[in-house]
Amino acid sequence: MEMPYGAIVQQAYVVNDIRAAAEKFNRAFGIGPFVHLPHIKLPDVLYRGQPAEMELSAALCQAGPIQIELIQQHYDGPSCYRDTWPKGQEGFHHVAVMCEDFEKERARYEAMGCPTAMIFGTPETRTCYMDARHLTGGMVELYTDYPGIRHLYRVVSERAAAWDGKDILVGM
């Protein structure tokens, strides 16, 4: 799975129910399996500059050259996910790109009027969502380039390539 800098590598959707959403995407596009990452507590979250908590489940599936992510928020507080879709609603949320220089790319988006909606992770593994709704209709997720994120993308891609068409939702 090639992840060139600056290229869109993922489309993500906020959903109400991971399993139901994975089944819908499977029916619509024939894709699978979705690698399920249940109840993730994101580390060191800042939402709109303020400390926050975040727990979510995600399901990831390779669909040709792009990964599809389904996100179900479990935390009831505000977040970049709720900025786009209030609780009970669902739809497109973001595209993701890998950054060669995370802080430079983040500053570039901020200069275009796209504030940092949410940022989390360690200094070596930062991920953030830039509020680019006025430019793209959604958020833009920026990844620090680190081995863990590349490993996750590789696993999802390998699972899709070897998929037997049976289980739509699988563990890591």
Band of the pLDDT at 2, cuts 50, 70, 90?
A: low
**Does residue 1 lie within any of the structural domains?**
no
**Does residue 48 lie within any of the structural domains?**
yes
Question: For residue 115, what are the domain limits?
Answer: 8-162
Give percent of the chain above pLDDT 90: 92
d(CA 13, CA 38): 16
4, pLDDT greater than 80: no
**Does residue 52 lie within any of the structural domains?**
yes
**Does residue 74 lie within any of the structural domains?**
yes
d(CA 67, CA 18): 15
Average pLDDT value for the chain: 95
* Mean pLDDT for the stretch of residues 61-75: 96
- Position 36 scores a pLDDT of 98
* Mean pLDDT for the stretch of residues 117-133: 95
3, pLDDT greater than 90: no
Q: List the CATH number of the domain containing 132.
A: 3.10.180.10
Cβ partners under 8 Å of residue 45, min gap 6: 51, 52, 53, 54, 118, 119, 120
30, pLDDT greater than 90: yes
Q: pLDDT tens-digit profile of 34-59?
A: 999 999 999 999 999 999 999 999 99
**Does residue 12 lie within any of the structural domains?**
yes
Cβ pair 47, 38 in contact under 8 A:
no
Band of the pLDDT at 123, cuts 50, 70, 90?
A: confident
- Domain tally for the chain? 1
Cβ pair 146, 124 in contact under 8 A:
yes
**Does residue 169 lie within any of the structural domains?**
no
Q: pLDDT tens-digit profile of 10-25?
A: 999 999 999 999 999 9
